[in-house]
Amino acid sequence: MTPESLKAQPLLRHWLGFTPEGRVQAFSGKVDLGQGISHALRLIVAEELRWPAEQIDMVPASTLFSPDEAVTSGSLSVQHSGSALRCAAAHWREACRQAMAERLAGLGVTLQDVRCEGGQFHAPAHLANDLANDLSHAALQASYATLSHAAMWDSVIEPAHAQATHAALDRHPRAAEPNPTVLRPDVAAKVFGEFEYIHDRVMPGVSHPMCHGMVFRPGTLSAEVIEHDMQALTTRLMAMSGVLQVVRDGVLLGVLTETERVLGEMAQHIEAGAEQGQFWRCAVQVPDPLDLPHWLKKQPLDTTVVADTSAPTQGTVQQHISAEFQRPFVQHASIGLCCALAQWTGHPSAPHLEVWSHSQGIYNLRRDLALAFDVPATQVQVSHVEGAGCYGHNGADDVAWDAAWLARQVPGRPVRVQWTRQAELGHAPLAPAMAVRIDAAVTPEGQLLEWTQTVWGQGHGTRPGRGQTPALLGAWQTAHPAPITLAVNAAMAVGGGSERNAQTPYNVPSLKVINHRVLNMPFRVSAMRALGAPVNVLAAESVMDELAHGLSQDPLTYRLAHLQGEQHARARAVLQQVADMAGWPLPGSSGLSPQPSPDRPEGWGRGLAYARYKNTGAFCAVVVELVVADKVKLHQLWMAADVGHVVDADGTINQLEGGALQAASWALCEAAQLSPQGITSNDWANYPILKFSDMPKVSVHLMPGADHASLGAGECSAGPTCAAIANAIFDAIGLRVRNMPFTPENLMRAIDSDEARAPFNPSFN
């Protein structure tokens, strides 16, 4: 099967190349966000070429030469770009093997006789002895450089041919465990502060040096300018030393300066004034944070039946359980601030815009920048430069627009724009609030008969490059604004959005999933790591846990009983593996879930959860150990994951750990604070995240998967971690918490709720 990324970019030169020094270049449209995908892709190319990984350069993505692979998201980089590069490298290797066989055909050498080792192609060893007098030993081997030719680079990659001939070669050992001999080339520089992030880049100007800029805006998507305040502010800014220009357009105020220090001083004044109601008059509908489901349900809705396998209920007796869960609006809270550089060059009649950005989608950004500034996309170039990492649609694209807008005021000069902490937390898109209701029916013995999962939430996508108008914050706020893009969900074929993981993985005869997309967006929302999966998995795994406890069945045994059949073999394996790691009794052993030993503190508990990401991606099971005292304190977290063929074990483990710990922060700490003037949780005091001192010990096991396709690891642990924490809290204090985050305040509210402490009773209904 042809990988999706190869369909639009089928030529070998789209993916691979040579440097003049003889190093291999590999091109990808997927960008490195700190997750180490460049290293994983490098290892894939090295494996297929039989070439040392240290001699392969992953070229940073640019719209000038990289394949268009849309957005780096959804844990799809290894699946999409990795499979394309694997086919490209195998195609190149096989083309060179064929060329080597043809070169030695007169000696009776066939394609199957040629082997590739260390980036060299070798004839059969016996020829070196049999023909020593007639042929030099050097002629019996050749490199990629000597065997490649122009027509080869323009050849169409043939995945079927590469896959068919691949079996004839000895495979390199699969990377089942971290390999300390093949290190990520960027880590040392990052640890010692020598790596050049986008924040560190200084661009030489054509005729003038780089200048600095900042765009100030209201805290809401739309607002009214307070002209008296704004005019006084503009006059003051223009009089400041070091200010080059002050620009007003719609509700936007832009400032260009010679130095970054001047911007920092004015930012403090403007942001403080805006919080006090100066400069802009804002008024937006604010949902009640204590009753988000009510707000979500009363908005205009676009309802979709995601799945419906309704069937006549088997058996005459059934019991029912209903439960509702919610997640608040969540912020990206990127520690590294969004930053971009931009420069306009060329004649005014044919301007050229070049942007340096840590965007997740350079081609999508290019398209919307072209729309926003009314220039052909061919006259816009976006090059990726690493930022400090991200995990969803943050402000990287918006700050690129800011830089381009300001750079237009000073043609020829590069402009650098970096958001402040207040802008980072106050203007980046939020993850949507969600409510999930589950209605399930079981037999008296606990067998699932019916399962209905109903979801309410806004869409999870307002990314650039997907609509007829630019989806960039600045473009929505000029004097002639583009229409604000309403958040939508991705198609279910790629995992969906708010309905992601809403289909239970367990055997149930009658399943129904309904998604209500909220058609109101008072605050901008978009994609956050794993989209709707964390709250959907939280809901489903909490209900499974509640059913098991109410029926006096072990939670692990109960799950395994509903994962019957060969199609669930990998799911059962990760559950059994994590149980073994955590010392959870396996089915057939005596006792229910582990009980604390005498030295365990009061409030100790353990919880278990499982999910397959998107129902098509990686399998992950999690056990959490915690103590509930004045707050919930995590002690240990165990994970077992099946991500198929592991390309880079160390990188995979890092991604699983990172996804789990971020999910733990969502579960225990994070909730945006909103007001009619905008997002008020715009500093770390008002938006706390999990601290280093809060981190548990984490153990990860990767399941053997050499015979399976690679699956992404970055998002699969999020849902099971949130759910395992909730189940561990129940195990610790008998409290079923259904509203994230599980802060002391929300725990107290749950204690006051009769429903939260009422165990599932097989006799009700």
- Using CA atoms, how far apart are residues 659 and 637, in angstroms rounded to an integer? 12
User: Mean pLDDT, to the nearest integer, of 504-512?
Assistant: 96
pLDDT of residue 176: 40
pLDDT of residue 710: 93
Give CA separation, 147 vs 43, 98, 190, 417, 560, in Å: 22, 9, 38, 47, 54
The band of 74, judged by pLDDT with boundaries at 50, 70 and 90, is confident
pLDDT of residue 162: 54
Phi, psi of 342 (to 5 degrees): -145, 155
Q: Between 339 and 759, name the one with better pLDDT.
A: 339
Using alpha carbons only, what angle is made at residue 734 by residues 728 and 740, rounded to the nearest 5 degrees?
A: 55
Q: Between 689 and 390, name the one with better pLDDT.
A: 689
What confidence tens digit (pLDDT) does each residue in 381-404 have? 999 999 988 889 999 999 999 999
pLDDT of residue 106: 87
121-149 CB burial, b ≥16 within 10 A, e <16: bbbbeebbeeeeeeeeeeebbbebeebbe
User: Mean pLDDT, to the nearest integer, of 424-433?
Assistant: 97
The answer, yes or no, to whether residue 380 has pLDDT greater than 50, is yes
The answer, yes or no, to whether residue 552 has pLDDT greater than 80, is yes
- Using CA atoms, how far apart are residues 627 and 733, in angstroms rounded to an integer? 9
Q: Between 135 and 59, name the one with better pLDDT.
A: 59
What confidence tens digit (pLDDT) does each residue in 591-611 have? 445 555 556 789 999 999 999
What confidence tens digit (pLDDT) does each residue in 128-177 have? 666 554 555 567 899 999 999 999 999 999 887 556 444 444 444 434 44
What confidence tens digit (pLDDT) does each residue in 439-495 have? 999 998 899 999 999 999 999 999 999 999 999 999 999 999 999 999 999 999 999
User: Mean pLDDT, to the nearest integer, of 534-540?
Assistant: 98
Using alpha carbons only, what angle is made at residue 752 by residues 749 and 755, rounded to the nearest 5 degrees?
A: 100
**In terms of pTM, does the model score above 0.85?**
yes
Q: For the CA atoms of the chain, what is the radius of gyration?
A: 28
Nearest to 427 by CA among 476, 491, 495, 369: 476
- Using CA atoms, how far apart are residues 338 and 467, in angstroms rounded to an integer? 23
* Average pLDDT, rounded, for the chain: 91
pLDDT of residue 197: 96
The band of 629, judged by pLDDT with boundaries at 50, 70 and 90, is very high
- Name all domains of the chain by residue range, CATH numbers in brackets: 4-173 (3.30.365.10), 198-282+332-427 (3.30.365.10), 434-460+496-757 (3.30.365.10)
User: Mean pLDDT, to the nearest integer, of 512-529?
Assistant: 97
Residue 526: helix, strand or coil by DSSP? coil
The band of 764, judged by pLDDT with boundaries at 50, 70 and 90, is very low
What confidence tens digit (pLDDT) does each residue in 633-673 have? 999 999 999 999 999 999 999 999 999 999 999 999 999 99
The answer, yes or no, to whether residue 763 has pLDDT greater than 60, is no
Using alpha carbons only, what angle is made at residue 574 by residues 611 and 606, rounded to the nearest 5 degrees?
A: 75
* Token code pair at residue 140: 């019996």
* Token code pair at residue 349: 């009649």
User: Mean pLDDT, to the nearest integer, of 313-333?
Assistant: 86
The band of 183, judged by pLDDT with boundaries at 50, 70 and 90, is confident
The answer, yes or no, to whether residue 331 has pLDDT greater than 90, is yes
The answer, yes or no, to whether residue 316 has pLDDT greater than 80, is no
- Please tell me the total number of residues recorded for the chain in this structure: 765
Residue 244: helix, strand or coil by DSSP? strand
Q: Are 55 and 355 in contact, with CB atoms under 8 Å apart? A: no
The answer, yes or no, to whether residue 759 has pLDDT greater than 70, is no
The answer, yes or no, to whether residue 756 has pLDDT greater than 80, is no
Phi, psi of 624 (to 5 degrees): -120, 140
What confidence tens digit (pLDDT) does each residue in 200-219 have? 999 876 667 899 999 999 99
How are beta strands 632-642 and 697-702 bridged, if at all? parallel
